[in-house]
Amino acid sequence: MGSRHPATRRLKRFGRGELSQPDNQEIVQHLLSGCVRCRRVTGRYLPPVVRAGRPGPAIDYTHAFSSARRELGRRQIAFAVEQGDAPGLLAELAAQSFDRQWLLITRDVRFQTWSVCERLLEASAEQGFEDPGRALELAELGAGVAAHLSLATYGAARVSDLSAWAWATLANAQRIRSDFRSAATGFARAEQLLGEGTGDPLERARVLLLKASLYGNQGKSREANRLLDEVVLLARQNGDSHLAGKALITQGFLCGVAGDEAEAIRRLTAGIEQIDGLAEPRLLVSARHNLILYLNESGRHEEALALLAVTRPLYAELGDRMNLVRLQWVEGKIALVRGELARAEELLVAVGQELVACELGYDAALLSLDLARIYARQGRGAEMRRLATEILPIFQSRDVQREVLAALIVFRQAAEMERVTLDLVQELGDYLKKCRETPGPRQRDPL
């Protein structure tokens, strides 16, 4: 259940005897580990050994601590068993329909454990942009399990913390699906639960990190960066450099979306230096992917190539479809700026087919503009006309802004008149980037 310092507020309540038995046992376990800092806090509230210069009554805590050790040992064994059971329970869930999964987690106590809840939330985060629908379902299940956790077993304050994280994960899954209204409601609920929790500043920081991404998608860059600055401060004050690095990476991503590539590079570089890539390999790959992209677009092509060379094995290790698409796309873009037009065309055509199959309309259009740059350089009017003709029906069959359709119609008309220039392609690309609400595989949202 973690080895972080208990929040000062909880330590004071422990010293005053205001916590539940499970919470008391957790604090005692931490104190027995030899934490001098926390003992100083609780010591101010425990009975003094010396009062007014005279020896006070001797207080023997031997029996109390022995009893606490026995109880903690029992609970550690129970939690180890719970953790061991979780993979099998999740496999059992996976074999059922979502409706059946919901019945199981709300009615069967076997599934109402801390470990099952954590694993569901971790699985939701893993799915993210790979399968947003499944990510949402997993987050809903995680929040459902959190609502049924035993307060006597885990402690009311700790359950509130985990419930807050469950709601934040659910809100983030809704954000990824562009359901911003539901996401905002979810984050509000998460912050309410944090107020009922332990007061751990790192729990608050984790929630704010995800909420900042919602603000970023809504175009509230100032609010997003304010939250991210707070996350960095809280993380550094509490010795969590990994969390601080995640916040910097998110700031870098938002800077890149806003077109500030120099600042994006600076923050991404700083964030990558602070995260634990072994703990979160997907985060490392997404951060490096964006850094490669911005280095390349800033004209720092050799640096982009060098970073791509050391990152390519990580894309392969993750092995999922969208990360491999991202790899091909960034390879195609680098080949394009290096003048390797045949290689760039081969890669980008393959990526385009994948994007159309995945119904990622905006990204299919952005990629088509990369192909248009190749055709414009080579004066291939027939291919340009075909490209412009193919792209419009894809968008007309999807829910996109009318302004985007209008821009693509202008592009098609220019192609028919053989008046497409590299400047026109660049302007259209910049416009489409500004119009999109959520990121796709070209840039990789780190969360």
Place of tokens 């960095």: 232
- Give, as one character, the DSSP assignment of residue 259: T
Q: Is-above-0.85 flag for pTM?
A: no
**What gap in Å lies between CA 343 and CA 336, rounded to an integer?**
8
Would you list the domain boundaries of the chain? 320-447
What pLDDT does residue 26 have?
72
Average of per-residue pLDDT across 348-369: 79
Tell me what the mean pLDDT of segment 401-406 comes to. 68
Q: With contact defined as beta carbons under 8 Å apart, do 206 and 165 qualify?
A: yes
Cα torsion through 323, 327, 329, 335, rounded to 10:
180
pLDDT in tens, 15-48: 655 666 667 667 766 666 556 566 666 655 554 4
For residue 434, how many other CB atoms are within 10 A of its CB?
A: 11
Angle at 115 between CA 113 and CA 120, to 5 degrees: 100
Q: What does the block give as tokens for 113?
A: 């454990």
The C-alpha atoms of residue 374 and residue 336 are separated, in whole angstroms, by: 7
- For residue 90, the Cα-to-chain-centroid distance in whole angstroms is 21
pLDDT at 415: 76
Question: In the chain, what is the straight-line distance between the N-terminal and C-terminal CA atoms, in Å?
Answer: 23
Identify the helix (H) or strand (E) that includes residue 307: helix 301-318
Q: What is the pLDDT of residue 437?
A: 46
pLDDT for residue 196 is more than 80? yes
Q: Are 265 and 294 in contact (CB under 8 A)?
A: yes
Contacts of 44-51 with C-beta under 8 Å, sequence gap 24+, read 44/15, 45/12, 45/14, 45/15, 45/16, 46/15
pLDDT at residue 170, as a whole number: 97
pLDDT confidence of residue 433: 63
| Interval 179-208 mean pLDDT | 95
Q: Rounded distance, CA 228 to CA 358, Å?
A: 31
Q: What is residue 55's three-state secondary structure?
A: strand
In terms of C-beta density within 10 A (0-12 exposed, 13-18 middle, 19 or more buried), how is residue 296 classed?
A: buried
| pLDDT attached to residue 283 | 92
Instruction: For residue 52, name the pLDDT band (cuts at 50, 70, 90).
Output: very low
